[in-house]
Structure 1
Amino acid sequence: MTPARPVLRRAGDRGWLIECAGRRPADVATAIRGQSWASELREVVPAATTVLVVAETASGMGRLAEGLHGVLDESGTRRTRSAAGRTVVIPVRYDGTDLAAVAELVGMTPDEIARLHTAGEHSVGFFGFAPGFAYLDGVPESLRLPRLSSPRPRVAAGVVAIAGNQTVVYPGGTPGGWHQIGVTTARLWDVEAEPPNRLALGDRVVFEAVAS
């Protein structure tokens, strides 16, 4: 069966929405940002399965579509790495509220869950839901669980949680329906910092187990 190809759809007078068709939106967005004509763009916003590209002006949308098709043809043959190539280490105390329940669901011990999670190849896929809320791809297959049927009304800052193939570190004060496996003291979102977000698209994230 021939794999599905990405699809471009108009999004207003200055935008194109790329339906990535199985390609990693973070890689597609990184490839677009690396083009010589990217300076003519206002925004390149990856999401779970799409990338929104917004131009500064409404002129030349046809040329922009041609450029995007070129990027998609190229990115279909190789994975694009983040130009920054940063690695961010996040210390985690693996004693989360849901750790015992997760261990029972996947048939492992809490220590095994911590070892698997820290061994995963995590990277920032996209941002959404709330300021500083990064969706980190890379949860090992054996730890992948659906979200909770009923989200908690409020989750504290620093809670590390998993669902599907992703990990999140809650910025604090938001609802949350993910399985809480640990806590970090690392502050990933700080409105007084410049920039306020410690993570960026494509960053590699290493979770490191700590005792306290």
Structure 2
Amino acid sequence: MKQTRYIIFSISLCIFNNLQAVDYATEIQPIFSSNCTMCHGGTNGLFLDSYTNVMAGNSNNGPVIIAGDAGNSILVQKISGTANFGDRMPSNSPTYFDSHQDELQLIKDWINEGALEEETADIGKEDFLPERLILNPIYPNPFNPSATISWEQPRAENIHISIFNLKGELANEFSFTKSQPGFNSFSWHPENLPAGIYLIQLTGETFTITQKAIYLK
């Protein structure tokens, strides 16, 4: 029964992937304006000062934004630290998005929803949301250098992720304020931590789930 419900939910994401809940002007551009336009607001060949310029952006390694595919969008790779070329962005604070995972996730959501300029109607989407908070399997597991932590939630709520070693010591923690209903994810980069087994604890407003992940070096 669980497997069937998951398949139906996955199909629903495909059906409604043209619905956008993120508004570029009020949610995405302010992030770029605060962190990126110092270097990319009229210099260095890439402009992140408007929707038109962001979508027109290109690089020697591919399009800056690929609508519907955040993982292969150069912008996401550069700000999340997964690009295998050049320096991480923003250049004045390369680890900014490590401590602002909610903003990184918002950018990913915007791209995966189609990278539109304005949010679109969301009619019927609530019919395909999970009944409860779900922590998906950590991927890959074991992993090196990073792992994707993803979850699904039935409604907007505050999400807190705590990562412990086997001694019960807190290794990392991340908070997402009013994380959006449906699928959410982020990349965990524990490069400053020793290899070993870690417990990933996801806590919603009424539910807590824990999984085990193995970090290799």
TM range (shorter): under 0.3
Larger radius of gyration: 1
Higher strand residue share: 1
Which one scores higher on RCO, CA 8 angstroms, separation ≥ 6? 1
Higher helix residue share: 2
